[in-house]
C-alpha cells in the first residue's frame, strides 16, 4: 500500500508538518512538528501540535518516529510534546553535533550541554535505512542549509525534502546560518533531483507569490524544469553566486534566537534556573 502523506500548515511560520502512514490503525511518522510560540510574550502553545494529535488519534495511528529534518531557525519543535502525548522516537541527522557545538558557543550554553546529539533518541547516519510500519525509508544527508539537514525518502517515490528545496516558483533555502554552505546545498539538491521525474517532493515551507495559495508538493521533473534558482542548466558557480548575493539581503527569521537554542535540545527547553523559571538568551550582535 502506498504511503499516505497528511500535511498541516502552520500559518505563522509557514511550516508544513507531515504525518506519514500506510493505513488507519498502523504506524506513522510525524515530520517537523511545530510548537506555537509568541516572541513578544514568551508564551508557548500547542494549537498546531494538537491538530496533529487529533489526526493521529482519529486514524488510530501509533507514532513510531518524530522526525526532524534539521534544527529549525523559524519555529520551535513540538517533538517533546508529541512524544509525551503519543510516544515515538525523536530523530535527526548524525551531524547535529556540529550545529550544537556552534550554538553552544554562540549562546554560552551551560557547560553540561552535550554536543554529541544525545538529546535525541536516534541519530540517522547518511543513507541509513529504517521503517515506518511496513513502509521502507531512507535518511538522506543533504547539507547546505545547515550541516545536519536530512531528507527522508519513503518507498522510493516520496521525499520529504526539508529546507533544501521550496516550491519551484520560490526556489531554494538560504545558506547563511552557521555552518551553511551554498556549494554543499547545490550538491544536495542535485542529489535529490537525480531521482526519477515522477518522485514527489514535499517541502517544509512555502512562501507563495501573490495570487497562489500555499502548496506543499511538487515533483522532481517539475523542479528540474521550473525551479527559479536551480533548474536544469544552472551550474554550481551560477547557483552559488546567486545564493550568496541573495542571502546577503535576507533578514533573520522572526524566531531565530529562541528556535535554535531550543531545537538543538531536541525541542526541550533549557534547564530552569534557581528560581524555577526557564529563560532563553538573546545574544547581542551575534547573528
SS (H, E, C) 135-161: EEEEEEECCCCCCCCEEEEECCCEEEE
CA 238 from chain centre, in angstroms, equals 26
Please report, for the chain, how many H helices and E strands are present, in that order: 7, 15
What average pLDDT does range 179-200 have in this prediction? 97
The 3-state DSSP class for residue 92 equals: strand
pTM of the model: 0.96
pLDDT, one tens digit per residue, over 49-91 is: 999 999 999 999 999 999 999 999 999 999 999 999 999 999 9
Spatial distance between the Cα atoms of 38 and 41, rounded to a whole number of angstroms: 6
pLDDT, one tens digit per residue, over 253-274 is: 999 999 999 999 999 999 999 9
pLDDT at 60: 98
pLDDT, one tens digit per residue, over 199-240 is: 999 999 999 999 999 999 999 999 999 999 999 999 999 999
What average pLDDT does range 17-23 have in this prediction? 97
- The per-residue pLDDT of the chain, averaged, comes to 96
Query: Per-domain residue ranges for the chain?
Result: 4-253
Specify the CATH number of the domain 4-253.
3.60.15.10
Q: Are 167 and 206 in contact (CB under 8 A)?
A: yes
pLDDT at 178: 84
Give the Å distances, CA to CA, from 47 to 12, 33, 62, 152: 12, 11, 20, 26
Say yes or no to pLDDT of 287 above 80: no
Please report which confidence band the pLDDT of residue 1 belongs to, taking 50, 70 and 90 as the band edges: confident
Amino acid at each position: 500500500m502506498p504511503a499516505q502523506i497528511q500535511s498541516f500548515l502552520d500559518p505563522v511560520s509557514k511550516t508544513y508538518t507531515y504525518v506519514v502512514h500506510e493505513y488507519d490503525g498502523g504506524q506513522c511518522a510525524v515530520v517537523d512538528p511545530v510548537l506555537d510560540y509568541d516572541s513578544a510574550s514568551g508564551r508557548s502553545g500547542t494549537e498546531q501540535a494538537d491538530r496533529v494529535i487529533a489526526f493521529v488519534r482519529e486514524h488510530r495511528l501509533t507514532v513510531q518516529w518524530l522526525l526532524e529534518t534539521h534544527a529549525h531557525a523559524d519555529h520551535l519543535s513540538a517533538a517533546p510534546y508529541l512524544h509525551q502525548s503519543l510516544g515515538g522516537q525523536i530523530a535527526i541527522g548524525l551531524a547535529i553535533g556540529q550545529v550544537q557545538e556552534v550554538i553552544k558557543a554562540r549562546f554560552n550554553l551551560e557547560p553540561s550541554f552535550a554536543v554529541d546529539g544525545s538529546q535525541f533518541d536516534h541519530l540517522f547516519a547518511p543513507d541509513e535505512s529504517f521503517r515506518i510500519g511496513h513502509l521502507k525509508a531512507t535518511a538522506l544527508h543533504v547539507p547546505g542549509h545547515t550541516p545536519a539537514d536530512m531528507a527522508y525518502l519513503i518507498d522510493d517515490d516520496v521525499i520529504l525534502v526539508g529546507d533544501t528545496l521550496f516550491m519551484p516558483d520560490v526556489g531554494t533555502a538560504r545558506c547563511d546560518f552557521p555552518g551553511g554552505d551554498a556549494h554543499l546545498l547545490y550538491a544536495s539538491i542535485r542529489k535529490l533531483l537525480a531521482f526519477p521525474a515522477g518522485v514527489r517532493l514535499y517541502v517544509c515551507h512555502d512562501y507563495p507569490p501573490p495570487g497562489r495559495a500555499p502548496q506543499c508538493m511538487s515533483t522532481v521533473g517539475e523542479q528540474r524544469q521550473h525551479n527559479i534558482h536551480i533548474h536544469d542548466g544552472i551550474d554550481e558557480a551560477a547557483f552559488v553566486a546567486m545564493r550568496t548575493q541573495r542571502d546577503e539581503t535576507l533578514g533573520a527569521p522572526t524566531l531565530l534566537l529562541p528556535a535554535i537554542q531550543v531545537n538543538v535540545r531536541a525541542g526541550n527547553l533549557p534547564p530552569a534556573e534557581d528560581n524555577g523559571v526557564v529563560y532563553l538568551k538573546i545574544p547581542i550582535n551575534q547573528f
